[in-house]
Homo-oligomer: A and B are copies of this chain.
Amino acid sequence: MDLNLTPEEFAFRDEVRTFLRASIPPAIKRKVDLGLKLVKDDYVVWQRILHERGWIAPGWPKEYGGPGWSPVQRYLFEEELAAASSPRLITFGLKMLGPVLIEFGTEAQKQRFLPRILASEDWWCQGFSEPGAGSDLASLTTRADRDGDHYVVNGQKTWTTLAQYADWMFALVRTSNEGRKQQGISFLLIDMKTPGVTVRPIKTLDGGQEINDVFLENVKVPAENLVGRENDGWTVAKFLLGHERFGIAGVARSKKQMDRLRDIAARETKRGRPLIEDARFRERMAEIEIELTALEMTELRLLSDEAAGRKPGPEASILKLKGTQVQQGITELLLEAVGNRAHVFDPGILEDDWPGAANDGPAIPEYAATVASHYFNWRKASIYGGSNEIQRGIIAKAILGL
């Protein structure tokens, strides 16, 4: 047990830090720092920079283009990404489909899709949730009927994040109604340009537009786009949802948000003094820092297990559950920090090219403009990717045996 970095780990961190800080485009950094809307191009530009350096897929095996890092190196990379104000890397291809294809894909599928994921040439979205199948994912009803060398897909997916940018969707579809509902599900890759695919945006409570309905009407999908065996998609889905614990706690980003909170609290005033000098506010910051540190140490314990060869287990549910609580706790403190400026809504922040708080605009400093939207928007964190209720159920059943 040693919490200090080795000299090699120090050197690695410095190398990563230097590169990331020098390479991130300032316009993208500004958007991330202020919590502004990022558009497709922002993500793609940045991901290609990382790809060129060979760092876009830290979790992939070396033979498929991963950098071959140890868990500690991956942890340090996540830290430095966040510290450098990197946008979140879009996970659908890199952390979800990529590993799935490496595990279950045919050689042809791997050769066709993996390089394009690494190069951010294809934007993937995830077609899992349906209007009638949220937390109870296996009750999905989108149908894929085999017709010669094609499947014909009919149904509706919802809550499909950033589908408006997507070239492809990986989807769970029902190919059989026999047996338990988990049986009869298949994992299919769908070209979003296929006739019959319609994307309709869903406006969220913060005014943003990240999620969508995707309607699938007689969509013809070549049978070669089946991943794994027909009717065995649940196995693929479980692998996808369970295999990746890196980053699901969001520790590095929460640390960055704590920096932001400290920065804002230093600018805001209370009774004529900087808010950050207020003992009560500091205590609430200390409380959340305890939770964040506990979360980080727990993540490190699990990573150490993994480095020692243990398979990822249901303990990762702690990371998702507590991670979102910490993230949401920080958004609450940010909201409180800006006082009654929290009311001010500048619709411009939802636009791609917000110039910043105009001098003659409402009395909201640039740093405060997105705080309320962020608080509202981030309630989704404890709902998606397995809600906190689902995570508690996993812990109760898979760990405690209840």
- A-side interface residues toward B, CB under 8 Å? 279-280, 283
Chain B: minimal CB distance from A273 (Å) = 15
List the B residue with the shortest CB-CB distance to A283.
B280
Chain B: minimal CB distance from A324 (Å) = 24
**4 contacting pairs across A/B (C-beta < 8 A):** A279-B279, A279-B280, A280-B280, A280-B283
User: Closest 4 CB pairs between A and B?
Assistant: A280-B283, A279-B279, A280-B280, A279-B280
Chain B: minimal CB distance from A47 (Å) = 46
Q: How far is the CA of A283 from the CA of B280 in the complex (A)?
A: 10
Chain B residues contacting A279 (CB-CB under 8 Å) are 279-280
Q: How far is the CA of A338 from the CA of B279 in the complex (A)?
A: 23
Copies in the complex: 2
Q: How far is the CA of A280 from the CA of B281 in the complex (A)?
A: 11
Q: How far is the CA of A280 from the CA of B280 in the complex (A)?
A: 8
Chain B: minimal CB distance from A275 (Å) = 16
Chain B residues contacting A283 (CB-CB under 8 Å) are 280
Q: How far is the CA of A280 from the CA of B279 in the complex (A)?
A: 9
Chain B: minimal CB distance from A336 (Å) = 15
Q: How far is the CA of A280 from the CA of B283 in the complex (A)?
A: 10
Q: How far is the CA of A279 from the CA of B283 in the complex (A)?
A: 12
Q: How far is the CA of A279 from the CA of B281 in the complex (A)?
A: 13
Q: How far is the CA of A283 from the CA of B284 in the complex (A)?
A: 13
Chain B: minimal CB distance from A396 (Å) = 16
Chain B: minimal CB distance from A345 (Å) = 30
Chain B: minimal CB distance from A20 (Å) = 41
Q: How far is the CA of A279 from the CA of B280 in the complex (A)?
A: 9
Chain B: minimal CB distance from A39 (Å) = 43
Chain B: minimal CB distance from A73 (Å) = 42
Chain B: minimal CB distance from A296 (Å) = 27
Q: How far is the CA of A217 from the CA of B283 in the complex (A)?
A: 59
Chain B residues contacting A280 (CB-CB under 8 Å) are 279-280, 283
Q: How far is the CA of A279 from the CA of B279 in the complex (A)?
A: 10
Q: How far is the CA of A283 from the CA of B279 in the complex (A)?
A: 12
Chain B: minimal CB distance from A325 (Å) = 21
